[in-house]
Structure 1
């Protein structure tokens, strides 16, 4: 896979580049936000590793601009005390984040998990629920035959809910379906992705598509 690393710390860039190359990836690098945005548009990477605290243009703005034209997976690098930035980043469409300082092995593992979710082969199958149609092989979502632009994580969430039909999914079941059994994801991370998904469904005319039953879980409503 082709991975773009955007970070202004040359030592960290070298560390990440080395770890990703050892994992078999092609790696491109950029030292500031403006250069990172230009490289993302020019090279169409399979995933972007994006620092939040960048010169020229911060990582949040880079993410926002990338999301205007692309659903490429984005993993944020954040400082430990930047909880607000992490939440904002997820709401802008990032797929995951890793806090600094981090283990290169953890970063490589997180990237591998994202790539499995977003580019792994899926059976050629279409699932429907009311006005929602999912193409699992192409990872496309349509509402009334109109495309709905979703990140990889958002697609996994809607696919899990559609697959469960009218059955309630607990938060743990939903997390396992999206990130895999045993994955460590905070409630805030899931809430951010669900909030984004709900907003996009509402903008497509399905404001009450995801129903929450307090203390039990969530499911898709009628969506007719």
Structure 2
């Protein structure tokens, strides 16, 4: 998978390029906004699948670069920055960024988010040196991990069953569950959830998300399936609790 890394700090970039390379990514490093935009001009090579974009660039603000990228390309953009304030996150997502990760970050989570946004944009490419797998159904997501909790998500028919019992969900409840199920165990930030499920900003809408999560837990009768990560967001827990019996039929 070919990535474009936009980072003006050579030390940070070198470390990141090394790690990404070990995971099969082909990375081009751009040190400025202008260099990044020039790199996105079609040249007959394999297109970039994801752009990792720092906001503190020497020639122009990363928000402007994101806006220009979005004007000319549909390539997914992940903002990777030290700006952790809510206003910056909302602004970045509203400009068209597909995800927003603050430094310092966990490398495993960053890799998962790269794969997630690449998969949502189309059929995922095989890492360098590995044969491509058979094309998967769009946005099919990993199915096996959820089997441990007896949950089956049929995205095509928008149906959810738990231990064979169909669970009626609202549109937003289904979209929320489907989003979290794309990468079980990965924490989805509240800002990202609102951007993808509600297509709006997070600020001032916290109660809405809490209500939908509570309703989802109750309807699935699996109160531990969706875990709250305090101060960050939510994740799907696929390992059933060892000492907690499953609640039957939503009671």
Q: Contact between 2:112 and 2:186, CA under 8 Å: does it hold in 1?
A: no
Bigger mean CA offset, 7-16 vs 108-117: 108-117
CA distance in 1: counterparts of 2:212 and 2:108, whole angstroms: 35
SS in 2 for 1:75: strand
CA RMSD after TM alignment: 3.3
1:91 aligns with 2:94: yes
Give the structure with the higher percent strand.
Answer: 1
Tell whether the 8 Å contact from 1:74 to 1:96 is kept in structure 2 after alignment: yes
Task: Please identify, of 182-191 and 19-28, the stretch whose mean Cα deviation from structure 2 is larger.
Answer: 182-191
Check if 1:76 corresponds to 2:76.
no
Residue 23 of structure 2 aligns with which residue?
A: 23
Equivalent-residue separation in structure 2 for 1:65 and 1:161 (angstroms):
34
Shift of 1:57: 1.6
Decide whether aligned partners of structure 1 residues 103 and 190 sit closer, same or farther in structure 2, where only a CA change above 3 A counts. closer
Change (3 A) 1:24 1:197: same
Give the alignment of 1:144-155 within 5 angstroms.
Answer: none
Return the alpha-carbon distance in structure 1 between the equivalents of residues 112 and 136 of structure 2. 21
Distance 1:106 1:12 in 2: 17
Aligned to 1:151: none
Contact 1:19 1:108 in 2 (8 A): no
8 Å CA contact 1:76, 1:96 repeated in 2: yes
Map residues 175-214 of structure 1 onto 2, 5 A cutoff: 175-180=176-181, 181-194=184-197, 196=199
Aligned equivalents of 1:95, 1:49: Cα separation in 2: 10
Q: Aligned to 1:193, what secondary structure does the other structure show? A: helix
* CA deviation map 1:121-178 (0-9, x unaligned): 443xxxxxxxxxxxx59xxxxxxxxxxxxxxxxxxxxx969836x950454x423312
Matched positions, count: 171
| Alpha-carbon contact 2:176-2:197 (below 8 Å) kept | no
Match of 2:34 in 1: 34
Partner of 2:118: 115
User: Would the aligned equivalents of 1:78 and 1:100 in 2 still touch at CA under 8 Å?
Assistant: yes
Aligned to 2:158: 163
Unaligned runs of 5+ in 2: 124-134, 140-153, 160-167, 202-207, 216-251
Q: Deviations over 1:79-122 (max 9, x none)?
A: 15332212111111111121111233332222122223333344
Distance 1:98 1:192, change over 3 A: same
For residues 106 and 175 of structure 2, the distance between their equivalents in structure 1, rounded to whole angstroms, comes to 27
Residues 160 and 178 in structure 1, CA contact (< 8 A), matched pair in contact too? no
Contact 1:90 1:193 in 2 (8 A): no
Normalised TM-score (structure 2): 0.58
Which one has the largest radius of gyration? 2
